[in-house]
Amino acid sequence: MSPESERRMRMEPYRIKVVEPLPAISRSERERALAAADFNLFRLRSTEVIIDLFTDSGTSAMSTEQLAALMRGDESYAGSSSFFRFEQVVGELTGYKIVLPCHQGRAAERILFSCLLQGGDLTLSNGHFDTTRANIELCGAEARDLPSPASADLAAAAPFKGDIDLEALTATLAGPEGDRVRAVVLTITNNAGGGQPASMANAQAAAALCRSHGVPFLLDAARFAENAYLVGRREAAWAGRAPREIAEAMFALADGAWISLKKDGIANIGGVLALNDEALADRCRDLLIATEGFPTYGGLAGRDLEALAQGLLEVTDEEYLASRESAAAYLAALAEDAGVPTVRPPGLHAVYLDAARLLPHLPWSAFPGQALACELYLEAGIRSVEMGTLMLGHPGSDGEPDTPAAHELLRLALPRRVYTQSHLEYVGEALRAVAARAVAIPGYRIVQAPRALRHFSARLEPVRVDAVEPSSALPA
């Protein structure tokens, strides 16, 4: 998109049939709510949020066809007809032989890694997301990111910053740690890396490397349709191809995938684990039965399976995906116009704000992304999520400092088919007001938190900048 087109938003390819009122909550009420939530936006009630850009997971609006599909739900415990429709749709899309429904993506990855990994094993990825890393580490294995070198420059317009670093992948697979590698995971799109896509050429090269070393190549495909659309828009060899065709080609490169269908399934709950390795699938199925449910429902109601099957048919529609692209580009332009730097180029599912650049007075140990999230909520009741050291850093042990994340970002996620242009303009005005007082925004420190996935439940408090450890300067 040109800079001019980014400042105009494409007409949404749908009309609104059901509406839900937005909460009306004053500044003083927001101040009390945030303090009561210990300055952690995960702990807010939804009734305390005006515009919720916290996540695109499970927050989307279903279509009339999906709502109609709910009524076809077969709630039989075993052999549900809704499962067989779901299995057919997933199988035709991915090409994988075994389809195991799960209640959401993290359940699928827990089952997979529990059956694939042991202590001391290693997984490599363009970017493990938070629950993926946690489930790998719960097995005693190591999750190591090999992000594309292009991802280091947040402002550059490189089209595929979500690629895996092929040079580092080659060196690791061929090096002394190669026998530790049990899987290579390509996350599409790369949520931890600013929502950036991975190219088909990069996926093809990574798959070939994995085959030559006998290592499974897997997709974390929560946003497979959005990645496919951006491949068609940005990769010359795939220009003009339909998103569905590109998605099928990407799945064909891998040995299996797990998908949080709360994203590109356009539904409120659900996930799937799809594999070709029958022996691995048998182990996964046994664990699924013990922890999720019978394999023909996997922790989901029949109506959920029906809605997901329909959502998977709708999500590769090019008009719908173009609307997503337009909305993200428009919000990114509003942020930039307000003086808030963003990760460029924008993807589809979210706009990522560069909190470190906006708040240079805050070191990483004062969690600038969280500081910006709190300030945006106080300003306008907008909920967003920090994606910096609080979420993606490595907590220090025995009093040692954290290992900071590569970047200090704030994510504004866009629920599918939920918000209109005027809602995004409201966010843009709020960002302008926050940017105007950026130098006065306080940092935060953790008061109490679990060691794993601490961002979900941590308790924080504001902290003066001069009270932060001087050794906590931003990493180079």
Active site positions, annotated: 77, 129-130, 220, 222, 263, 455
Distances from the Cα of 151 to the Cαs of 64, 131, 188, 234, 343, in angstroms? 39, 21, 14, 16, 9
- Partner residues linked to 93 by β-bridges: none
One-letter amino acid identity for 148?
Answer: S
Instruction: Name the residue with tokens 């356009």.
Output: 266
Distance CA(145)–CA(137), nearest Å, equals 13
**What distance in Å separates the CA atoms of residue 69 and residue 304, rounded to the nearest whole number?**
9
d(CA 325, CA 348): 5
Contact 406, 394 (CB under 8 A): no
Which residue, chain included where needed, has tokens 């399934």? 265
Q: Is 82 exposed, middle or buried (0-12, 13-18, 19+ CB in 10 A)?
A: buried
Residues in the chain: 476
Query: Contact, 315 vs 306, CB < 8 A?
Result: no
Distance of alpha carbon 206 from the chain centroid = 21
Query: Residue 440 has what DSSP assignment?
Result: G
Nearest to 352 by CA among 156, 126, 194, 159: 194
Q: What are the two backbone dihedrals, phi and then psi, of residue 109, each rounded to the nearest 5 degrees? A: -70, -30
Single out the residue of 89, 36, 77 nearest to residue 300, CA to CA. 77
Alpha-carbon gap, residue 310 to 69, rounded angstroms: 7
Pick the closest to residue 112 from 295, 251, 274, 296 (CA basis).
Answer: 274
SS3 27: helix
What is d(CA 306, CA 72) in angstroms, rounded to the nearest whole number?
A: 7
Residue for token digits 């994340």? 405
CA distances to 40, 78, 303 from 429, rounded to whole Å, are 23, 52, 40
The three state secondary structure string of 369-397 is HHHHHHHHHHHHCEECEEECHHHHCECCC
Q: Which of 466, 313, 446, 469 is nearest to 389 (CA)?
A: 446
- The residue among 306, 308, 313 whose CA lies nearest residue 76 is 306
